[in-house]
Amino acid sequence: MKVSYFPGCTLKNKAKDLDVYARKSAEALGVTLEEIENWQCCGGVFSTARDEVATKLSSVRALKEAASKDQPLVTVCSACHNVIKQTNHAMQTDKEFASKVNNYIADGVYEGETEVYHYLEMLRDVVGYDELKKKVVNSFKGKKIAAYYGCLLLRPNSVMKMDDPENPSIMEDFISAIGATPVVYAKRNECCGGYIAMESPELAKKSSNAVIENAKAAGAEMIITACPLCRYNLIKNGADIPVVYFTELLAEALGVKEDTNA
């Protein structure tokens, strides 16, 4: 199976290994990630201003290219996913906004027809966690792992529609699929403070530490996340247990992690 792929800025620069883990793991599961040609930054944050068009054009172009190939568009970074999914929703539901965007693009009309998946959704809904279990060669049995969702992966629920934003299970089910024991804790959906790290580093550190300590108190030996910024912020602010991007854990479970270093 082939899908269009939007890696995003962080995974093509500061976190290239996480992108490679995603690609190698997908191949091991029978999915080829075809990177969108000439993609640009998603914008980082979705602006709710209806007259803000320019920052959303790169997302629409990526969506439009996927549509031209009749492929779903897969993202890995939760921030990229949030922006692209919300932009796609706006193209589907806001005729005035869609008209302005299509006037800018000028080479055909896009109306939001592309299906957008986060990589975790692809694992759950396309590959299937039962199939993933069959492919695991390095089980994490006995390991207690806490999922950290952060702010952007599940919200706003009316658009993202990935999971229950208050009591999600998509990452816990992933943890179970690779053999580990998921740890559920109160602050798994709380903000890590990443977006205020420059303005108020102390408040960002307080937010991150609250997440880390809460996970540890629940018995976690490791935290996994689907947001590169969350991972960076938790590590930067002194996490004393491993904070790992989910694609790295997936690559290790599937036995392809060493291949990425070849």
Choosing among 3.60.20.10, 3.40.50.11810, 3.40.50.2020, 1.10.3210.10, the CATH entry for 130-261 is 3.40.50.11810
Per-residue pLDDT of the chain (262 residues; tens, 9 = 90+): 999 999 999 878 777 889 999 999 999 999 999 999 999 999 888 988 888 999 999 999 999 999 999 999 999 999 999 999 999 999 999 999 999 999 998 788 999 999 999 999 999 999 999 999 999 999 999 999 999 999 999 999 999 999 999 999 999 999 999 999 999 999 999 999 887 777 888 888 999 999 999 999 999 999 999 998 899 899 999 899 999 999 999 999 999 997 655 4
Each domain of the chain, given as residue ranges in start order, spans 2-119, 130-261
| pTM to 2 decimal places | 0.94
The 8 Å CB, 24+ separation contacts for 168-173 are 170/120, 170/121, 170/124, 171/120, 171/147, 171/224, 171/226, 171/246, 172/147, 173/124, 173/129
Residue whose structure tokens are 């590959």: 127
Rg of the chain taking only CA atoms, in angstroms:
18
Task: Tell which residue, 172, 152, 23, has the closest CA to residue 85.
Answer: 152
One CATH from 1.10.3720.10, 1.20.1050.140, 3.40.50.970, 2.60.40.10 for 2-119: 1.20.1050.140
Taking the C-alpha atoms of 66, 70, 72 and 77 in order, what is their torsion angle to the nearest 10 degrees?
-10
How many other C-beta atoms can be found within 10 angstroms of the C-beta atom of residue 127?
19
**Rounded to whole angstroms, how far apart are CA atoms 146 and 222?**
6
